Chain A
């Protein structure tokens, strides 16, 4: 049990330490595609250090929600890290405390607090961004639900550690249409939930067009750092669910020895970098959708996930 807890802590350390790096690589690669030099891949770490050492200001009329929200946003991805296989392919201490649905619900908590804090911050743009994020969230919800239905139909479980083993034993499962279509739908959901093009432009500075970013406008100092950090970790955690649970459950440590865990950390980092490159391709080749076209993007994701379920129900 002690080893199990130690490994859980290692997983948290992995997410905590490397998330800003993945964000940095994403930003850098996007700039490189546009023939610019771009900031160093370690820039997110510097940003966080700067923000953590700055003074914090809060809007005069705001309540406790505005002050607590950054901590919730920061803690939630770390909580989910306890439930999912980040580095090991055997269940850890908290593995059976919650399944993928639970992970979805816990993410919803941070979304709720972020929304409330944005409205609480008394910035008009904050409330606008909050309502837009809710719109994207509502439209993404059915896709997530259908995707999880499909997972539970196919693998007879929604515990990530069990689902993970299902896709590759036997290998024919990997090519099952429900699996591939599920991956497409889930990838679209990752783009929508983490505010990437084509749903939202993460590097946009025009408040009227913002979806996700404008919620964080009023945060400063330590709160801003926590919100930013939470955003980086949310992407990493979703990427880990996508890669380790749904796509490629290879390269994980099968024993608890430090060498195996270190090797797994390297392998998982490489996988996440590969996903980041895929996101760079999507972000560089598509334009941001108009606000009311987002419904069509997520409608397409819904069609894909329902098709995944239907082809599985056929028992081909």
Chain B
């Protein structure tokens, strides 16, 4: 596999397939990135199939089975493989459903931050002048706050809840995309192909989004993976503080908040949700490192 892609990557065929093969060649050189990708794929499958593979409903309370330990400990039952929480809900089922929330949060927040950041960044970079100055000062103001603090206060304004938490996090993550897009657009703007397109009669919108933007994508993709994992972490943190998803939602951070009072009595209600967050974020960050190596031409070993 690696050999054939290696040969393809050397060929000068500019087609999309060849570029993809070249990308995969560099990406798959990083073993961690491939492991991260597989874990991420597994998480997506779990999220999609959660209703089919979960042994119980995430909200079902078994009053005869509260705070049961995992099956390998004394008192554990095979029906509840990872034990139950304080009101007798199956931990495994709640964790499986929790994957849906975390991945949805990542996708939703990253999409909003990416699309908003690209539009604002392209405008700032393309027009320059006072428009650029105003936009960048506003971004500096947002970046002056620690992201979690600003998100926390925004949620306090908007009202606690998952939707508001996601909007707040997207707003806080978006300046990074603006900065990257602006910098890339400014460096591409003066190139010959842009001038050629302008002479050929392309309008500003086409120049901005069809001519220039596709050549600025590499850093944005890397930043998007970073935002994806940050979004999951921040949303879980807000859930933990009681300002994100509200109980009884099986969101991992919210589950941890509910479990806090049992930490010294029932280790499993605290350990598993956090482990799920860690594994998800770690898988995405592993992929992000691989993407950076594969997409950043400066780091490519020629």
* Co-complex (A, B): no
